[in-house]
Structure 1
Amino acid sequence: MCHFPLGFFYFFQVFSNNDEAPINKKLPKELLLRIFSYLDVVTLCRCAQVSKAWNILALDGSNWQKIDLFNFQTDIEGRVVEHISKRCGGFLRLLSLRGCLSVGDAAMKTFAQNCRNIEHLNLNGCTKITDSTCTSLSKFCPKLKHLDLTSCVSITNHSLKALSEGCRSLENLNISWCDQITRDGVEALVRGCGGLKALFLRGCTQLDDDALKHLQKYCPELVTINMQSCTQVTDEGLVLLCRGCHKLQTLCISGCSSITDASLTALGLNCPRLKILEAARCSHVTDAGFAVLARNCHELEKMDLEECILVSILSHCELITDDGIRHLSSSTCGQEHLQVVELDNCPLITDLTLEHLKSCHHLERIELYDCQQVTRAGIKRIRAHLPEIKVHAYFAPVTPPPSVHGGGQRLCRCCIIL
């Protein structure tokens, strides 16, 4: 759907404000219907008010295959969803009710009964939704592929069991912050939805290693999994997951504080397609684990290692040295895929790091805030070698010890953005 210029809309309105208008006689209904198919929800509603003929065409179900009501969330109540479902029927493929706090189970039951071809459904933040909605989806919506239940806090294991029984085409499920979900729910889900490719479990704090064992057993197609803040997950579960899910490309284990190098080694040895790893606050991982990743995961593009204090390649880690960057830059993933390096507040980094990074030919940006041993000359040299690169460097003011006369002099170093 797209927004047509207002002038276009008003032109049509002027020349078609009755059913006998020339435009309605000259243009076949099929062509007008095709034009309407490019309009967004607001413009379609305006067109529906122009004339009886346009009302029929604008509200034709074929124009309402994809609907996103996020911008109207404060006005959307259950009856609106019911009306839309009756109007769209089997045409509707995608519906986003993200943030629509007033929508409840009764409206969603009517929706499921009428829109049996729905494939993408976003209920993020619909806090009135309970297991009853998932039961309805299970009964009437077998084609459902993408379902977002983020922050639907009343959802329990019963919902996952229902989805497993009736929505076996499910590929992408987000149950983040549904903190009543346990290992039993995950087991029930994956027994029927073995084709899952993406699973988001952020904030599901009751999940443990047994949940990952079920994923390893039933979901070999898994590409993305987010377990942020699943604090009960340990190396035991993650190692098993890696051994069964070789297609894994995106993994978030941020906040899983028990994870160690054993998990990183398992990733490196079993998941060669890994592109994104978020491991913030995993304070037990070290350079040794990431060395295995660098040697084996040649498609690695992004890592979030915030507060991984034993890893030398990370902003705000005071132990990072030029040698750590040398290992990164000499690896295949560094030379062929690395695009951004953030080294903020790394006091041991020198111009030698910039010399190492010259071999990373796809590098687009380097962050060097408050790396006091990096000089303008070093930045100038890497810019000469990689002319398209952006270097952001900010050096905090340095105040030397006061002189014997008590008149210390402040030396200011400024922000450099090249």
Structure 2
Amino acid sequence: MLVQKIVEGCPCLLYLNLSYTLVTNKTLRELSRSCLSLQYLSLAYCYKFTDKGFLYLTTGKGWRNLIHLDLSGCTQMTVNGFRYIADGCPALKEIVINDMPTLSDSCILVSALLAKCHCLSAISLGNSAPVIFSFFHCMCSLGNNQLTDVSWKALCSSSQGLRRLHAAECPRMTDVGLRSVASLKNLQYLDISFCSRCVSFDVGILYLTEGSSASKLKELNVSHCSHITDTSVMSIAQRYRVSFHIHTLQSKLHLLGMATLEGIRLKKLVLAECVCVTDAGIEQKLCKNVRDLEHVDVSHCAALTDAAVRSFAFYCRGLVTLRMSDCPKMTDMAVQYLTSGSQYLRELDVSGCILLTDRSVRHLERICPPLCSIMMACCIGISRAAALKLQSRVAYWEHSNDDPTCWFGQIVHPVIKPIRTNDTLEITEQHSVMTTTAST
């Protein structure tokens, strides 16, 4: 009833998040009747509606402009539901179907999402391992197997328009599968985290950096891939080193009042839990070449030292976010490098860096602002009194003296505590505790 009142009173509604609610088929019927402008809808983890609710899509006009749909965890969906979605959402660009262990190929094949939704450019299948091959190619019917290289080849050959690909936790992806992904010409975001069973991920990364996908790639997540080494870092550096030179040329052209060029710019790189990456890979290969990096995560890369941070601070002058939690070799010198060279740094996570002391806090005080988020969980060398000096100067603050072995035996995303600033209360971000195979 409440949703009905909302949609009736807001005919121009564009964004609606109903995740984790008890919405029913009646709600979906009202949406199809009233929300003619709706573009974004999340029904994630809503279990009360059935396929019949999506039948209204084929008769109403409410979802004709929908471009993003999240159905994560809606395990009650069957063949008919996906068929109705394909018929009723012709403008659909992004569909999220994470956590769907019951999802079968027939659902996707019969609904013909790829065939009918011609604008579809982003698919998320996180933790939906049993999705079978005909999702990617109607000629493949190999039973209830997990995604393999055959699947990735079929998907990438038939979906060249994909811009975002979330392929985390796909245990049967190998270097051959990455070679298929590398053929995507418009790929901007790629997440292959937790795909750690590949024979040699260094070869797969080489395919990526030499393939068509590298031409527009801006975000790459290879966290928890234990086979990633400095060789992969070198491949990334060699591909994107042209970025710095183009950036320099752009500056000169701008000063001359001439048109600028659009270069290949990798903006975000997640290497968390890539335990084989060393200072040499970061300093000598990555940072000297890929200077456009703005967001970097090297959490749990135990081999890294202050030298790696020095490279980020000196070469990546536009660095905005740096996460280096549980890097036990980092010292106060690393923080000093950051505060001296990273003038745009806004978010820093040094949780579990046990060698940091109150001296690091004094360094950080100099860059608050622009630094507005600081996480120092399990920093046993930083006193509470010193840490509190930063609390009033940042929007997000977190500190504890807990024993790191109690936290980092598991991967913990620290709680960001709500801080009052300018009489407003910031929202608390929850954390998740998982085993050592958890994602960032």
Query: Partner of 1:173: helix, strand, or coil?
Result: strand
1:330 matches 2:330: no
Q: Which amino acid aligns with 1:215?
A: L
Aligned partner letter, 1:229: H
- Rounded to whole Å, the distance in 1 between the matches of 2:319 and 2:192 is 22
User: What is the CA-CA distance between 1:222 and the residue it aligns to?
Assistant: 1.0
CA distance in 2, matches of 1:164, 1:119: 16
Closer, same or farther in 2 for the Cα pair 1:343/1:145, shift >3 Å? closer
Cα displacement (A) at 1:37: 3.0
What is the CA–CA distance in structure 1 between the aligned matches of 2:379 and 2:335, rounded to whole Å?
17
- Give the equivalent residue in structure 1 for 2:296: 277
The size of the alignment, in residue pairs, is 347
Q: 1:82 to 1:200 in 2, by over 3 A?
A: farther
- Root-mean-square deviation over aligned CA pairs: 3.9
Moved more, 38-47 or 271-280: 38-47
How far residue 121 of structure 1 moved from its aligned partner, in angstroms, is: 0.5
What is the CA deviation profile of residues 345-400 of structure 1, one whole-angstrom value per residue up to 9, with x for unaligned ones? 746624x4444334325234666777667696x789x77xx97458877679xxxx
After superposition, where does 1:167-246 map in structure 2 within 5 Å? 167-191=159-183, 193-207=184-198, 208-217=201-210, 218-219=212-213, 220-245=215-240, 246=264
Structure 1 gap ranges (5+): 13-31, 49-54, 313-319, 397-416
**Structure 1's 185 and 61: CA in aligned 2 closer, same or farther, altered over 3 A?**
farther
Using the alignment, how far apart are the partners of 2:73 and 2:117 within structure 1?
A: 22
Q: What is the Cα deviation at residue 86 of structure 1?
A: 5.7
- SS state at 2:91 partner: coil
Q: Report the TM-score, using the length of structure 1 for normalisation.
A: 0.69
Residue equivalent to 2:101: 127
Tell me the equivalent position of 2:366.
Answer: 359
Call closer, same or farther: CA 1:146–1:288 in 2, change over 3 Å. Answer: same
Residue 307 of structure 1: aligned partner: 326
Mapped to 2, the partners of 1:67 and 1:373 lie a distance apart of 44
Q: Distance in 1 between matches of 2:216 and 2:36?
A: 33
Match of 1:292 in 2: 311
Which residue of the partner structure matches residue 91 of structure 2?
117
Q: Which amino acid aligns with 1:201?
A: I
Code of the aligned partner of 2:357: I
Counterpart for residue 74 of structure 1: 47
2-structure distance, mates of 1:87, 1:61: 10
Cα distance, 1:81–1:128 mapped onto 2, change above 3 Å: farther
Q: What TM-score do the two structures reach when normalised by structure 2?
A: 0.66
Higher gyration radius (CA): 1
Amino acid at match of 1:329: T
Aligned CA distance change for structure 1 residues 97 and 364 (closer, same or farther; 3 Å):
closer
CA distance in 1, matches of 2:170, 2:107: 15
For residues 159 and 190 of structure 1, what CA distance do their matches in structure 2 show? Answer: 14
Distance across 1 between alignment mates of 2:292 and 2:281 = 16
Q: In the alignment, which residue of structure 2 is the partner of 1:138?
A: 114
| Structure-2 separation of matches of 1:138 and 1:5 | 31
Q: Is the 8 A contact 1:258 1:284 kept in 2?
A: yes
Contact (CA 8 Å) 1:370, 1:394: kept in 2 or not?
yes
Greater fraction of residues in helix: 1
Q: Say if 1:223 and 1:250, in contact at 8 Å, map to a contact too.
A: yes
SS in 1 for 2:47: helix
* SS state at 2:311 partner: helix
Structure 2 stretches lacking a partner, 5+ long:
132-146, 241-263, 403-418, 421-440
Other-structure match for 1:148: 124
